[in-house]
Amino acid sequence: MPVHTVTTIHGARASRLHVTGRKPLIPLGRWAGIEVGADGTWLIVFALVTATLSRQFTSGDSGLGMHRDWALGLATSLLFFLSIVLHEFGHSLVAIRLGVPVRSITLFIFGGVALLGGEPRRPRDELLIASAGPVVSLALALGYGALAHAIAFATPVEEALVWLSRVNFSLFAFNLIPGFPLDGGRVLRAALWAWKGDFDKATGVAAGVGTLVAFAFMTLGVVIALADGQFWNGLWLAALGWFLLTAARGSLAQTMVSKLMGSVMVRDAMTADYAALPPSISLRDVVERYIMRQGQRSFLVTQDGNLLGVISVREIRAVPQEDWSTTSVQGAMVRRSAIEPLAPQTTLLEALAAMDEAGLNILPVESDEHLVGALSRDQVFAVIRTQREFRV
């Protein structure tokens, strides 16, 4: 199997569609403050790579030698996936330095994904974040190459080092193909963005090239699959093309949504007479009377018109169900002092970022320190959905 055709993608858009919502099946811990994990599909590719490598770097011995082959295969396979994680770390550490938060790094069947919490603000930042990954892969290729050269004996270990050097070089080269969402596509977007000053148009062109690249992979994959003995290699390439196609399309859709969210203000999406709960009502009453019957999932908590806090399904579910009758809203809510209210002229994009930041599903809207309404996450999505249906 051609493990050299492995992608690594990063970004808030492309990756959000593929990774979030699925918790990584295999958590690999926090490295330098970033959550690293592997998707369930990664196990398949890990097993295949390990098995292939164990047969490739064989010493020809039986008995003890076979164990050695497997150990070398396993070590090389682990170093290969470590290389992918390091590539993602290249993107991530530069992103963090430039003020773009990084949520996670996930290994999956086609490589690795770094999930960023936002988009770069300037073309220069995009260029630096996008090139950092390939730079790491190139450095690893040179490093493994130098090690192999230093050993200079035709042993299985040297063969493994040469392989690691080559595979890192392939990672470097493959990811520089200028189709979005590959790194090369992001470099292209950064260049177009700097040149024309239009982020959306630059994304459109880069994603267009990405779509062409994806179709080329799928076509080539089918042709290779029909050749003698190349069925799995061809299928792999075609599947990779399909993945890139959905990622490119997803990025475009996400760009459109972000643009919409950046053009709608909180005052046009909020509810002025938002249903508010009294502080003394029990959680069981909230669940039975409001959530189950009316479908509302987040609430302000007020007394005599004064805001005391907010509560949503998330806070209620944090309380064990058997305590719902004896716990009041006041006892489970997020207090006013811990909340930064929204201003009416804030955009929905900023409002959603503020909710993410605060870990809340609803925020009060205040004008001149007066409560004028509330905006929930559900409302933001409903507004975006409606806008898309009528504008597109």
Q: Which residues are catalytic?
A: 88
Residue whose CB is less far from Zn ion, 183 or 315: 183
In the chain, the amino acid numbered 268 is D
Residue 133 or 179: the one with the smaller Cβ distance to Zn ion is 133
Residues 107-146, mask of contacts with Zn ion (x by CB under 5 A): --------------------------x-------------
SS3 percent helix, strand, coil of the chain, rounded to 5, is 60, 15, 25
Query: Is there binding between residue 8 and Zn ion (CB under 5 A)?
Result: yes
Closest CB 102 distance from Zn ion, rounded Å? 13
CA-CA-CA-CA dihedral for 93, 94, 96, 98, to nearest 10? 170
- By CB under 5 A, which span of 2-10, 194-202, 290-298, 378-386 interacts with Zn ion? 2-10
State which residue, 75 or 82, has the beta carbon closest to Zn ion.
82
DSSP assignment letter at 289: I
Look up tokens 């035709």; give the residue: 154
Query: Least distance from C-beta 185 to Zn ion, angstroms?
Result: 10
Distance CA 130, CA 182 (A): 9
Q: 376: exposed, middle or buried (C-beta count within 10 Å: 0-12, 13-18, 19+)?
A: buried
Spatial distance between the Cα atoms of 91 and 114, rounded to a whole number of angstroms? 8
Beta pairing class for 111-116 and 102-108: antiparallel
Neighbours of 350 (CB within 10 A): 16
Q: Where does this chain touch Zn ion (CB under 5 A) — which range of 100-108, 139-147, 182-190, 243-251? A: 182-190
Smallest gap from Cβ 130 to Zn ion, in A, equals 7
- As measured in angstroms, the least distance from the Cβ of 88 to Zn ion is 7
Which region, judged by CB under 5 A, interacts with Zn ion, from 71-79, 183-191, 227-235, 382-390? 183-191
Provide CB contacts within 8 A for 60, sequence distance 6+: none
Query: Footprint of Zn ion on residues 142-181 (CB under 5 A)?
Result: 175
CB closer to Zn ion, 240 vs 261: 240
Which of these segments, 8-16, 143-151, 163-171, 286-294, binds Zn ion (CB under 5 A)?
A: 8-16
Q: Cβ 120 to Zn ion, closest distance in Å? A: 14
Nearer to Zn ion, 174 or 274 (CB): 174
- Going by C-alpha positions, the residue among 271, 234, 207 that lies closest to residue 13 is 207
Contact status, residue 336 vs residue 363, Cβ threshold 8 Å: no
Structure tokens at 257: 């949504």
Among 69, 125, 126, 183, binds Zn ion (CB under 5 A): 183
Question: Radius of gyration over alpha carbons of the chain, in Å?
Answer: 26
Q: How far is the CB of 84 from Zn ion (least distance, A)?
A: 9
Question: Which residues in this chain contact Zn ion in the complex, by CB under 5 A?
Answer: 8, 133, 175, 183
